[in-house]
Structure 1
Amino acid sequence: MSIDIIIIVVFFITIHLLANKIIPSEHFKRLRWMSFSGGLAVSYVFVYVLPSLHREQQKLKDYSSTLAMESELYVIGLLGLLLFYSLEKSLSYAQLKGSAEKNTVFWLQVGFYTLYNMLISYTVVASNVEGIQAAFYGAAIGLHYIAVANDLSLENPDQYNKVGKFVLAFGILTGWGLAIWVTVSSVVQAFIYAFISGAMILNVLKNELPKERNAHFLSFSMAIVSYTSITLTLKYFFEW
């Protein structure tokens, strides 16, 4: 395992443990920060996740005898999006019923995102990205994690700080361990990547795309332009 992978995993864990201290408390700075983070996440989806999903689909041509639709991974991604959306809707509905249900919903969300973290961590470690690619991959996912941690901490700050953030960090460690000790075929890895990509697309566009009243458009635009420009430049020179 490369040192780059270890750094990324440690970075992801650190983000969950320190997310509340990373995000500015002052309202305007917070809006700028979240808008910038949302812009990076949206850019990451369009310039990295979707092209990678297409590339993985192309690799499956070797299995054309059993995978003949040429869109299997897109279907898996759609299923990931649908499943995560249905879970979020169910949790939102339960949250309206009362304080007891709100606490239950919070822990269901923690469990839900722990699984999400585990799958992302597994995908990162199994893909064994290195160098500059690892840095940009880690930065985009890291900011995405900050947004997730921020949402959970706002719902139940006491429980999140006492237990929740450690459970989420444990999910990352679990994914790391699975990637080291469990070997699966390239097809299964591609399916896992597609599933988590669908879930990530939903989370980014639904939860991280800043609402109009909470958006700082300049920060959002700067993030998209800068991350996209740098990523495409590096892709051109390093053939990611």
Structure 2
Amino acid sequence: MTLDAFIMGFSFILIHLLANEVIPSDRIKRLKWFSFSGGLAVSYVFVYVLPTLHKEQIIVKEYRDYFTMESELYFIGLIGVLIFYGIQKVVRKAQLNDKTHKARTLFWLQIIFFGIYNMLVAYTIISHDVLGIQAVFYGLAVGLHFVAVAHDLWREYADIYNHVGRYVLATGILAGWLLGVTIDLSPLIESIIFAFISGAMILNVLKYELPPDDEAHYLTFTIGVVSYTAVTMSLKFFFQW
């Protein structure tokens, strides 16, 4: 296990255990925080996730017996969108209708799926051997994404999240971290996992991290987008990421 992988995995675990401790309690500061982190997340989707998905699609061309088109991975990403959107819609519909045992049970379903989501995201990052300054910038974007996911779940049922939920999500990170440093899957399977998670991540970023109009601090959001994009593109240019 490299030091970079250890630091990223440990940081992601701490994020889920302590996420709500670091979010500012003041409303204005909190809105600026989520506007900035949302800007970073949107930038991450466009400057890393989508280009990498395109590269992965090129890789699977080697498996012509299974893939004959040029968009199979995008279809798998779409499946990720459908599954996570369907789960979240079912949970939120139950919460709007009542706050009974059924709604809380469905919230557990959401926690479990986000635990799996965390495991696959952590596995993808660790298994791709992201190192050095690249690990810092990609780890920062994913870390803030995890903070936003954790806060969103905490707002729904704080008691469940604080007592058990955050540990389930942290365990998902730990599982993905361990899988990433101990198991070598074929390039095809890794590409499929990345595509599925990319779809889920794009949904989560655009639907739940992009601040609503009445809660957005546009200047801070713009600073997040421009600064992260400028630095990442510069590093890509100079270091050929």
TM value normalised by structure 2: 0.96
* SS in structure 1 at match of 2:194: helix
TM-superposed CA distance for 1:91, in Å, is 1.3
Q: Which amino acid in 2 is paired with 1:80? A: G
In the alignment, which residue of structure 1 is the partner of 2:54?
54
CA–CA distance in structure 2, aligned partners of residues 97 and 209 of structure 1: 25
Task: Give the share of equivalent positions with the same residue, in percent.
Answer: 56
In the alignment, which residue of structure 2 is the partner of 1:204?
205
CA–CA distance in structure 1, aligned partners of residues 172 and 65 of structure 2: 36
TM-superposed CA distance for 1:219, in Å, is 0.4
CA–CA distance in structure 2, aligned partners of residues 103 and 60 of structure 1: 41
CA–CA distance in structure 1, aligned partners of residues 108 and 25 of structure 2: 25
What root-mean-square deviation, in Å, do the aligned CA atoms of Structure 1 and Structure 2 show? 1.1
* SS in structure 2 at match of 1:47: helix
In the alignment, which residue of structure 2 is the partner of 1:69?
69
In the alignment, which residue of structure 2 is the partner of 1:149?
150
TM-superposed CA distance for 1:237, in Å, is 0.6
CA–CA distance in structure 1, aligned partners of residues 206 and 111 of structure 2: 20
CA–CA distance in structure 2, aligned partners of residues 105 and 214 of structure 1: 27
In the alignment, which residue of structure 1 is the partner of 2:139?
138
CA–CA distance in structure 2, aligned partners of residues 66 and 143 of structure 1: 36
TM-superposed CA distance for 1:157, in Å, is 1.5
* SS in structure 2 at match of 1:147: helix
**Number of residues paired by the alignment?**
240
5 Å-filtered alignment, 1:83-232, equals 83-99=83-99, 100-232=101-233
Deviates more, 1:157-166 or 1:137-146: 157-166
TM-superposed CA distance for 1:65, in Å, is 3.6
Q: Which amino acid in 2 is paired with 1:53? A: L
TM-superposed CA distance for 1:101, in Å, is 2.4
TM-superposed CA distance for 1:162, in Å, is 1.6
Structure 2 residues not aligned, in runs of 5+: none
4+ residue stretches of structure 1 with deviation over 6 A? none
CA–CA distance in structure 2, aligned partners of residues 57 and 50 of structure 1: 11
Deviates more, 1:214-223 or 1:124-133: 124-133
Query: Deviations along 1:188-232, whole A, 9 cap, x unmatched?
Result: 000000000000000000000000000000000000000000000
TM-superposed CA distance for 1:89, in Å, is 1.2
Query: Deviations along 1:40-88, whole A, 9 cap, x unmatched?
Result: 0000000000000011111222222431101111111111111111111
TM-superposed CA distance for 1:141, in Å, is 0.3
* SS in structure 1 at match of 2:67: coil
Query: Deviations along 1:167-186, whole A, 9 cap, x unmatched?
Result: 11001111122223433211
CA–CA distance in structure 2, aligned partners of residues 176 and 149 of structure 1: 18
Q: Which amino acid in 2 is paired with 1:90? A: V
CA–CA distance in structure 2, aligned partners of residues 44 and 197 of structure 1: 11
Q: Which amino acid in 2 is paired with 1:83? A: I
1:45 corresponds to 2:40: no
Q: Which amino acid in 2 is paired with 1:76? A: I
Q: Which amino acid in 1 is paired with 2:223? A: M
CA–CA distance in structure 2, aligned partners of residues 29 and 201 of structure 1: 25
Query: Deviations along 1:114-143, whole A, 9 cap, x unmatched?
Result: 011011011111111101111111000000
Structure 1 residues not aligned, in runs of 5+: none
